[in-house]
Amino acid sequence: MVEYRRGNFEAAEKALIEATQLDRNGPQAPLIADFYRAMALERRGKADDARKLVAATAARMRSVSKDEKDLLAGGTDYDDVILWLAYKEAKALMKLDPAPSP
């Protein structure tokens, strides 16, 4: 994610592909990495690939609390919230349908 935030999108894409192979950071980490990789693809002009990756990744994530003021309600944990924020950022960057409220 650091390479993405620095604007080094090619390096970010490579690192994030590797990150999706790791599960030592919890089950949400590969999904978070895929959303950041989609954003890197978008920034590199690969919009179709980015959109496909967002759709495939979103299909694998679980929803977070419906209460936007208490995102940790109902068994949602911090990793779920981080995942939802990455999803929301990816959809906004690509100007896709608005991300659903939690």
Tell me the pLDDT tens digit for each residue of 49-68: 999 999 999 999 887 767 77
Q: What is the pLDDT of residue 98?
A: 59
Tell me the pLDDT tens digit for each residue of 91-102: 999 998 754 554
| DSSP codes of every residue in the chain | -HHHHHT-HHHHHHHHHHHHT--TT-TTHHHHHHHHHHHHHHHTT-HHHHHHHHHHHHHHSPP--S-TT-TTGGG--HHHHHHHHHHHHHHHHTT-SPPPP-
Name the pTM for this structure.
0.84
Q: What is the pLDDT of residue 16?
A: 93
